[in-house]
């Protein structure tokens, strides 16, 4: 029964998530409160952990809530349920897309949408960058942040550094300098 509840709650959450993971967190909180799975304080912890662990935030939150509610089975059910709407909608869209990909209208649509993606990601980069700098700019930390950010940008832009190695390196540097 609890597994079925987890499935239906997280399927709904996956289905009604349009856009970023943060929109989804409000929905997750609503469902958790409805079923009494966690206290609001516990949910704050879930969000904190979902953010600092790798992987999409929504997937992390689903796994965590599922595990705390019904063990490993619960984690698997909640995670499966939260990604299922993605798979279904991608299946449908891909079929249609594959058929009309070469039509003029669809090609024009995508040529029109690409600058939008640049703007979307640009806005995310600026907003996240500013928030990051603001939270890590007090005293000597500000200098570390500038140097680490500048070095990373230089590395990927001019030295073709592998993003994965950069992230590992930044985590290690962070451990030392942000203590």
Binding to other proteins (CB under 8 A) within 12-71 occurs at 14-22, 24, 45, 48-60, 63-64, 67-68
* Residue 143 interacting with other proteins (CB under 8 A): no
User: What angle, rounded to 10 degrees, do the helices at 57-100 and 40-52 form?
Assistant: 60
CB of 101 to other proteins, least distance (A): 9
Q: Considering only residues 110, 134, 142, 143, which one is a binding residue for other proteins as defined by CB under 8 A?
A: 110
Q: Considering only residues 3, 31, 73, 83, which one is a binding residue for other proteins as defined by CB under 8 A?
A: 83
Q: Considering only residues 35, 134, 142, 150, which one is a binding residue for other proteins as defined by CB under 8 A?
A: 150
CA distance 24 to 39: 18
* Residue 94 interacting with other proteins (CB under 8 A): yes
Other CB atoms within a 10 A radius of the CB of residue 52 amount to 8
Nearer to other proteins, 33 or 123 (CB): 123
Q: Environment class of residue 41 by beta-carbon count within 10 Å: exposed (0-12), middle (13-18) or buried (19+)?
A: exposed
CB of 48 to other proteins, least distance (A): 6
Nearer to other proteins, 2 or 173 (CB): 173
Stretch that binds other proteins, among 2-10, 25-33, 104-112 (CB under 8 A): 104-112
Stretch that binds other proteins, among 2-10, 25-33, 129-137 (CB under 8 A): 129-137
SS3 assignment, position 162: coil
* Residue 142 interacting with other proteins (CB under 8 A): no
CA distance 68 to 141: 36
Other CB atoms within a 10 A radius of the CB of residue 150 amount to 10
CA torsion, ordered 33, 39, 42, 47, to nearest 10 deg: 20
* Residue 87 interacting with other proteins (CB under 8 A): yes
Residues in contact with 43: Cβ distance below 8 Å, sequence separation at least 6, in sequence order: 28, 29, 32
């Amino acid at each position: 029964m609890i597994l079925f509840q987890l499935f239906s709650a997280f399927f709904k959450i996956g289905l009604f998530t349009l856009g970023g993971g943060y929109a989804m967190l409000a929905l997750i909180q609503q469902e958790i409160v409805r079923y009494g799975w966690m206290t609001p304080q516990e949910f704050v912890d879930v969000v904190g952990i979902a953010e600092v662990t790798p992987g999409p935030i929504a997937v992390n939150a689903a796994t965590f809530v599922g595990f705390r509610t019904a063990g490993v089975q619960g984690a698997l059910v909640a995670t499966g349920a939260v990604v299922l709407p993605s798979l279904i909608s991608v299946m449908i869209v891909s079929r249609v897309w594959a058929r009309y990909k070469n039509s003029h209208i669809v090609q024009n649509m995508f040529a029109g949408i690409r600058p939008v993606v640049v703007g979307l990601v640009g806005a995310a980069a600026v907003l996240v960058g500013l928030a990051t700098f603001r939270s890590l700019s007090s005293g000597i930390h500000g200098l570390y942040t500038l140097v680490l950010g500048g070095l990373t940008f230089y590395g990927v832009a001019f030295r073709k550094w592998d993003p994965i190695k950069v992230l590992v390196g930044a985590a290690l540097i962070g451990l030392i300098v942000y203590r």
